[in-house]
Amino acid sequence: MSKFDFDLFVIGAGSGGVRAARIAAGYGARVGICESSRVGGTCVIRGCVPKKLLSYAAHFHEEFEDAAGYGWEVGETRFSWSRLIENKDREIDRLNQFYLGLLETSGVKLFPVHGRLLSAHEVQVGEKIVSADKILIATGARPWVPDIPGAEHSFTSDEAFHLKSLPKVLW
């Protein structure tokens, strides 16, 4: 019997942390992982995936205008910002559930709380302390706005993907 709660403990359940946890568990390791936000990481939750969905949506206006030149008859078109955001959120929810399922079927124990490294073999997860032979820190990064003149007029992707209305063109 090991003197540790886990063979591997991963702090951060983004794409890299989830992959490492799953691979280790697949080789028989006892694996735990913690994540204080949604599982999937920056790319899936607030980066690449939502950005691509919004980018794809932005191109349709031009495509509808060009369609007649390619033999298409396109009727009246309308755009709904709220529907786009709802659909984006639904896809992010689906991907989060997919990642949760990957962890569960791999036998990885998820702690849905913030993790804090205490020592070479201890992690505080919420109010609990767990031990592990190996600890992987896979926390990724978060966007930030530097303290510069005009910063009050900016926002990051974290806010951009949750705007209540379509921003007006500024140029």
CATH number at residue 44: 3.50.50.60
Contact 130, 121 (CB under 8 A): no
pLDDT at 101: 96
- What range does the domain containing 128 cover? 6-160
Kindly state whether residue 153 falls inside one of the protein's structural domains. yes
Predicted pLDDT of residue 153:
87
* pTM metric for this prediction: 0.84
Q: Where are the beta strands (DSSP E) in the chain?
A: 6-11, 31-34, 109-111, 115-119, 122-125, 128-137
Residue 168 lies in a domain: no
Mean pLDDT score of the chain: 91
Look at residue 167 and tell me if it is in a domain.
no
Q: Which two tokens stand for residue 68?
A: 């007649």
Has residue 29 been placed in a domain? yes
What is the pLDDT at residue 31?
Answer: 98
User: Quick check: is 140 in a domain?
Assistant: yes
Per-residue pLDDT at 162 exceeds 60: yes
Q: How many domains does the structure of the chain reveal? A: 1
138 inside domain: yes
pLDDT band for position 1 (50/70/90)?
A: low
Asked if the model's pLDDT at residue 43 lies above 60, the reply is: yes
